[in-house]
Structure 1
Amino acid sequence: MPLVSPFPVDPLVDGRQSERALLVRRGVQRLMTARRVALLPEMPLASGRRADLICLSEKGEFSIVEIKTSIEDFRVDKKWPDYRQHCDRLYFATHPGVPAEIFPPTCGLIVSDGYAAEILRDAPEEKLAAATRKALMLRFARLSADRLLQAEWAANPFMTSPQTEL
């Protein structure tokens, strides 16, 4: 067994999010899971951006949820319009301490208390092109499989690589 592993101790947390953002994310994840929506946090996109949450519906539609935990967090972020090219619907998610009025009416809005969440405004649909959808679906599937494997390896110290002898 190697002394150094190429995988982080907890492959599901990358350390870039604040505790408040993680609480908002947890509420949104519970909401989407209850709606039978598959999701991945922190998914890199073809444009070089990274979606806070990307959601895949049973119909194969993609939504991106951009998490904002303060007025300042929203005001300094100029990259969020770029996410539209990677989803059918774009949402903002926040907590009750952030005024809903700051978010653009052209995007959906979700409010989360860390345990649950509610969609206050549904996002308008802007269909992805077929080629973009296929590329995004492959990226989603591969990242899901990679993260599942990393989680399995992290949970079992004897499975540090695919070549581990039995």
Structure 2
Amino acid sequence: MADSGIIGGDERLQAAQVARGVARLFFRQELIALSEVTLGNGRRADIMAIDAKGHVVIVEIKISRADLFGDRKWPDYLDYCDRFFWAVPAGFDLDLCARAELRPDVSGLIVADPYDAAVVREAAEQPLAASRRRAETLRFARRAAARLLAAEDPHLAGFD
């Protein structure tokens, strides 16, 4: 049930494993990633990453055909990143990600497992406006700092 955001335990575990692989790939590329990031428009990206130059990447994780085609909100992410990727688990039918409605001209594709990931289609660069970049970078930094503080002191949890 992709539109409701409700997924079962197995799907949640598989999505977490894909997120881990993507985060490791990005780390090697000097992109620092956070999972479950709320954007300025209220949408929640599965992964947001920022590189040393301030370029913003958003990744949406899809673990099944129904999950991929049930998502109607993903175009709302395009105004909040320089590059957008789909991330899928190893063994996923990659031909599904080439369909026109998923904008392969704009969206990249990453295949991941719990230990690593690989870019199989690079995302088109669509530069953010400076004001949006600043706002999202600040939101990202504050969220990362709040998560670190909450890990150090659980009584501070709740800010996100």
2:46 aligned to which of 52, 58, 66: 52
SS of residue matched to 2:153: helix
Identify the residue that residue 28 of structure 1 maps to in structure 2.
Answer: 22
Identify the residue that residue 144 of structure 2 maps to in structure 1.
Answer: 144
SS of residue matched to 1:98: coil
2:34 aligned to which of 33, 40, 52: 40
Show CA shifts across 1:12-33 (max 9, x none): xxx9x70000010111011011
Identify the residue that residue 131 of structure 1 maps to in structure 2.
Answer: 131
Q: Which has the larger radius of gyration?
A: 1
* Structure 1: unaligned runs, 5 residues or longer: 1-14, 155-159, 162-166
Identify the residue that residue 63 of structure 1 maps to in structure 2.
Answer: 57
TM-score by length of 2: 0.84
Show CA shifts across 1:129-166 (max 9, x none): 01100100110111011101001113xxxxx46xxxxx
CA distance in 2, matches of 1:126, 1:146: 29
Identify the residue that residue 90 of structure 1 maps to in structure 2.
Answer: 84
**Paired letter, 2:143:** L
Show CA shifts across 1:77-131 (max 9, x none): 0111110010000000001222112123121000002211000011000000011
Identify the residue that residue 75 of structure 2 maps to in structure 1.
Answer: 81
CA distance in 2, matches of 1:152, 1:40: 17
CA distance in 2, matches of 1:151, 1:135: 24
Q: Tell me the number of residue pairs that the alignment of Structure 1 and Structure 2 aligns.
A: 141
**Paired letter, 1:112:** A
CA distance in 2, matches of 1:114, 1:70: 17
CA distance in 2, matches of 1:146, 1:46: 17
1:100 aligned to which of 94, 109, 113: 94
Aligned identity (percent) is: 45
| 4+ aligned runs moved over 4 Å, structure 1 | none
**Paired letter, 2:81:** C
TM-score by length of 1: 0.81
* Structure 2: unaligned runs, 5 residues or longer: 1-8
